[in-house]
Amino acid sequence: MIIVTLLLLSSSLVAVTLSQSCNIRDTDEGTVCVCNAKYCDSVPSLDVSTGKYQVYSTSKTKLGFESTSGDLTEDGTEIEGASAITLNSTTKYQTIIGFGGAFTDSTGINIKSLPEDVQSKLMESYFGKSGVEYSLCRVPIGGTDFSTRGYSYDDVENDTALEHFALQEDDFDYKIPFIQQANELRGAPIQLFASAWTAPPWMKTNNDWAGTGFLKEEFYQLWADYILKFFEEYAKQNVTFWGMTTQNEPIDGFVPNVILKINDMGWSPSQMNKWIGENLGPTIRNSKYKDLKIMIHDDSRITLPLLLPIINNETTMKYADGAAVHWYTDFLIPSIALDLLKSDKEGWFFISSEACAGSLKVLGFEEPVEKGSWRRAASYIDDIVDNLEQGAGGWVDWNMVLDETGGPTYINNTVDSPILVNATSKEFYKQPMFYALGHFSKFVIPGSVRIEASVGEDLEDVRVVAFERPDNVTAVVIYNSGSDEINLQLRDSGSQSATIKIKAMSINTVLFYEK
């Protein structure tokens, strides 16, 4: 067992790691970091060696990644007034797949609206070594509500041979170039997964992009072939995929479009079982893309009861590798409900596949964009920790980049995003949400394994998740939601010890080698 407790080290043992810091701008809701052609903040390099630790901190009062480091001592004596965080490295949980966001049309439109040198800084911020290094990202199959129009890859009615199937200008202008840049910045392909919002309207019962509509049964195999063609066409552009979900939010297809105008297609559990078992599963597994991870559900917690007939279907589970869940009703449904996503199948996993702040504006509860909001960063942190504690292998945001109104979206479904673009001023703004998610995407690298972590009873406002990384570094993410600074003490295996101070309303990542 490792006992980790964290408190302030003497100044002689602490060094500050220099890098480009946040260019702060105050807003009505908080603060943002401003990036332009001349300047953009970066993440200080990790420089931890045996006997040392490094801390990265982001707080409501100081955005960016502030880094300090210091020496671990050999004195395991408890420090008076310090609160304890305890790790047990012998108890291991899930392996991390990654963290990231979605390559929507709106994301690409907003990046492209900036000068090329500013675009480069934005892409570096998300995918580069000096950025937060997103590793798991989502790609829509065709259009979504965050496109400028409704479109599919075959809008020629009754083209049952898919002779007219073709990627669109939207793919070549707004998705593929930025995916390629992201892969180049990472030096390796990002783990991409694809999701469809709807089939072409002519394949559906309502002949529309949105509203109450389902895939016509005579087109079940054609729809599987259509999806396979998507992977084939993207492969021609040097873009390969790690996985796919079976349908974005199938519950939406039961809702009339006078209520919900998001591109959708409904599936009942029995319909989904039939399509996966007889069409999608065999089509994918008998193709050159047979190793694609197929994820079921891809909807919110409130619809998890509809998953049970699917996850308990033997034929479906022959082809399914994991599940995906959205965050939109998390305030109604406790995280324990995520137990329904679990299975005894070997290699089974689940991820959180979509989240965004501002979505409750459709009910009149909030504004789509709250520029600089720390509250929205806190909601990201809590949801990520909730999912990780329940066994999630990753967490994926929705639009990576939007404009200051929360668009574009052709159905006026504006929401918030970690990065906002001001094309007129040729600059972009990193919101607190960017740094909240960045603490996980940057430091909890793919292949990390979550280990047991607990906090002292006096730390009511503190949440902790800890991981052993594949490079043998331990990463401990500490979130203090309280209004007071907290002294914590670190003891590693009862011999090494160190101290840090956790700021009020802050997220912090501590990294060190276990002795």
Positions marked catalytic:
249, 354
Q: Report helix angle 176-186 to 105-112, nearest 10.
A: 80
How many other C-beta atoms lie within 10 A of the C-beta of residue 110?
28
Q: Are strands 427-430 and 136-141 parallel, antiparallel or unpaired?
A: unpaired
Q: Are 446 and 98 in contact (CB under 8 A)?
A: yes
**H or E segment to which residue 26 belongs:** strand 24-26
**Phi/psi at 99 (nearest 5 deg)?**
-140, 150
Q: What would the DSSP string read from start to end of 29-86? A: SBEEEEE-SS----PPPP---TTEEEEEEEETTEEEEEEEEEEPBS--PPPTT-EEEE
Distance set, CA 2 to CA 89, 421, 514 (Å): 6, 44, 9
Structural Rg of the chain based on CA atoms: 23
Rounded Cα gap, residues 213 and 263, in angstroms: 10
The answer to whether 320 and 273 are in contact (CB under 8 A) is no
Residue with tokens 């392909």: 189
The H helix count followed by the E strand count for the chain is 11, 24
> Residue 220 half-sphere exposure, CB side, CA atoms within 13 Å?
15
Q: Is 20 helix (H, G, I), strand (E, B) or coil?
A: coil
Residues whose CB is less than 8 angstroms from the CB of residue 312 and which lie 6 or more positions away in sequence, other chains included = none
3-state helix, strand, coil in the chain (%, to 5): 30, 30, 40
Mind giving me the DSSP string for 137-176? EEEEES--TTSSS---S--STT-TT-TT----HHIIIIIH
Neighbour tally for 207: CB within 10 Å: 13
Q: How many CA atoms lie within 13 A of 254 on its CB side?
A: 8
- In total, the chain counts a number of residues equal to 515
